Amino acid sequence: MMTIFLFMFLMAQAAAPQIIAPGVGNLADRGPKIDMNKAKAFNPPRTEFGHPDLEGIWQPRASGAAFSVLPHSGGFFLGQGSETGIVEGGVLPYQAWAAEEVRYRREHVELDPTGHCHYEGIPHALYFTFQIFQTPTKIAFVHENMHAWRIVYLTGDHPKDYSAWMGDSRGRWEGNTLVVDVTNNSDKSVFDMAGHFHSDQLRVVERYTLQDANTLIWEATLTDPKVFTRPVKMRFPLVRAPKDFAIMESGCFEDERDQAHLKGAALPANHYNEEHEKEKK
Amino acid sequence: MMSAVAFGQTAYKVARTSDGKPDLQGIWIARNTASFDVTEIAEDPTIPYLPEALEREAKADRVDPIAHCAMPGVPRITYMPFPFEIMQRPGYVVLLYEYLHNHRVIQTTPREHAEGIDLFLGDSIARYEGDTLVIDVTNLGNRTWLDSARHMHSDQLHVVERYTRTAPDRMLYEATLEDPQTYSKPWKIRMTLHRINEPGFELKEQECVEGDDGRAIHPLYRPASKS
């Protein structure tokens, strides 16, 4: 597995994102167009307890955000370039010192925590397929990638003295929109592989709204007074997965740094390497 | 020996979900040390190993796979000493484990087991039998151990888990382990799961950090980390 990630790093470096101005180039951003008027007019199905029903498996159309949240050219295994990225205006308003840090991290892709199988955090975890389960008091987001999950509580307050890769999520319904306030974020998670980072002061206010039965709109306002000069807005659409889809197991285990210890052990790394070798033949 | 009825209170009647299934929802925890030695909860403390399986076990690696942050497999995930939450939705049972953020999204729609894939937590299919949630698990591979004491299994392991509420705060957990390459006959484990009712109790995030020597450094239980 390490081999695969090493490969990822090298490829990522080779294809370090070249930021291009919005509107430049002819890269098509895939996915349905977000139409807030349509979303406002849509009367969503309801759960048996009367909440808008967002349950199901959702596949993001996040314009290659895992690679970079900003406009970027294509390449690498995540592949798709994007004229727009997912950030409104195509710019992250980093403070001067933080812009320097972004440049450093872009040159050190090996620092990317997801390459070591760590949690992605919010919003990063949302760039990959996940499933929503709702109850009257809590909503579970179950992610395939990194076998992560998050519970959005519709009750209670953010805890004190708690820091988490996935943050602490408190949600509420505003009309047909699920609004989630994510705080207690660790400064260890990152926005993408292009060096875009945040501090432990990151606060993400997410808004989930159905545009039609098979399209979910994700919007977010991100504030981080330690690294940004102003709030940042992000958004992208998600589409309902085909009926035969299921959230499977992702055997990516944290901090996989020492292949030597994995060799010869009854461990996943061998298995994947063997499979990988087989595939190559 | 102990039936679900004898085990709990005969008068207890399990509540039902909105779609009429026995309601097992809540946060549960096994208060035992079976993750160190599964024989603690085995019906017969002598696991019916085949001689060749014992030989295989003696030659096998000495490091518990969870020391490398691997998923602990089924049934071990259930008796890891950390809480887990059960959610039930029409068509699904969702198990969210605090232990290293494992999860199982299990469909209750009948289907065949997957073919040609090994998973650390296996391929699970759930069904309800009266008041009991039954989960049939295969495709577990041979890379997980039942405990730190190196009780092992082959990739032929078939686990049938049974979850039965016996009192408002108690659930009987039984599992039958069948593995013709490892055991001479199916054998059973049985334990109590305790419901955590502390007001405001919520599962916390737990991550595994592998140390320089390749051994997992597990976080202290429910850390109040400050970054």
B100-145: pLDDT as tens digits: 999 999 999 999 999 999 999 999 999 999 999 999 999 999 999 9
User: How far apart are the C-alpha atoms of A60 and A141, rounded to whole Å?
Assistant: 14
User: How far apart are the C-alpha atoms of B107 and B115, rounded to whole Å?
Assistant: 17
Phi-psi region of A63 (alpha: psi -120 to 50; beta: other; left: phi over 0): left
Among the listed residues A23, A93, A22, A73, the one whose alpha carbon sits nearest the alpha carbon of residue A194: A73
Distance from CA of A149 to the nearest CA of B (A): 7
Q: B61 and chain A: CB distance < 8 Å anywhere?
A: yes
The pLDDT tens digits for B7-28 are 544 689 999 999 999 999 999 9
* pLDDT given at position B59: 87
Q: Which residues of A touch B204 (CB under 8 A)?
A: 162, 164
* Subunit contact B89:A156, Cβ cutoff 8 A: no
The pLDDT tens digits for B172-211 are 999 999 999 999 999 999 999 999 999 999 999 998 865 5
* Subunit contact B70:A119, Cβ cutoff 8 A: no
* Subunit contact B65:A162, Cβ cutoff 8 A: no
* Subunit contact B214:A271, Cβ cutoff 8 A: no
Q: What element of type H or E holds A223?
A: strand A215-223
Residue given tokens 């996040």 in the structure block: A62
Residues A278, B53, B64: CA angle, nearest 5 degrees: 70
Q: Where exactly are the structural domains of chain A? A: 2-19+35-245
Listed in sequence order, the residues at least 6 apart from B116 whose beta carbon sits closer than 8 Å to its beta carbon are none
* Subunit contact B208:A266, Cβ cutoff 8 A: no
Distance from CA of A83 to the nearest CA of B (A): 35
Among the listed residues B118, B130, B122, B69, the one whose alpha carbon sits nearest the alpha carbon of residue B95: B122
Which among A119, A133, A246 has the least Cβ separation from residue B207? A119
Q: Residue B26, Cβ neighbours under 10 Å: how many? A: 19
Residue B212 has pLDDT above 60, yes or no: no
Range of the domain at B116: 16-195
Instruction: Assess if residue B225 is contained within a domain.
Output: no
Q: Which residues of B touch A260 (CB under 8 A)?
A: 214
Which among A161, A249, A261 has the least Cβ separation from residue B68? A261
Q: Residue A137, Cβ neighbours under 10 Å: how many? A: 11
Among the listed residues A226, A162, A168, A229, the one whose alpha carbon sits nearest the alpha carbon of residue A199: A226
**B75 vs A263 pLDDT, higher one:** B75
**CATH at B77:** 2.40.128.20
Q: Residue A99, Cβ neighbours under 10 Å: how many? A: 14
Burial A166-200 (b: 16+ CB within 10 A, else e): bbbbbbeeeebbbbbbbbbbbbbbbbbbbbbbbeb
User: How far apart are the C-alpha atoms of B165 and A29, rounded to whole Å?
Assistant: 50
Q: B227 and chain A: CB distance < 8 Å anywhere?
A: yes
**B171 vs A62 pLDDT, higher one:** B171
* pLDDT given at position A113: 83
* pLDDT given at position B11: 80
Tokens of A97: 């010192």
Residue given tokens 């408190």 in the structure block: A170
User: How far apart are the C-alpha atoms of B4 and A27, rounded to whole Å?
Assistant: 62
Which among A135, A147, A258 has the least Cβ separation from residue B214? A258
* pLDDT given at position B217: 54
The domain tally of chain B equals: 1
Output Rg (C-alpha) for chain B, integer angstroms: 18
Mean pLDDT of B40-68: 91
Which among A147, A200, A247 has the least Cβ separation from residue B102? A147
Q: Which residues of B touch A251 (CB under 8 A)?
A: 70-71, 119-120
Q: In chain B, what are the helix, strand and coil shares in percent, each to the nearest 5?
A: 10, 30, 55
* pLDDT given at position A49: 97
B201: nearest CA partner in chain A: A156
Instruction: Assess if residue B115 is contained within a domain.
Output: yes
A275: nearest CA partner in chain B: B117
User: How far apart are the C-alpha atoms of B165 and A57, rounded to whole Å?
Assistant: 30
Q: Name the stretches of chain A with pLDDT < 50.
A: 1-28, 258-277, 279-281
Q: Which residues of A touch B87 (CB under 8 A)?
A: 133, 135, 140
Q: Which residues of B touch A249 (CB under 8 A)?
A: 71, 119-121
* Subunit contact B207:A254, Cβ cutoff 8 A: yes
* Subunit contact A264:B142, Cβ cutoff 8 A: no
* pLDDT given at position B223: 36
Instruction: Assess if residue B200 is contained within a domain.
Output: no
Q: What element of type H or E holds A106?
A: helix A96-107
Instruction: Assess if residue B3 is contained within a domain.
Output: no
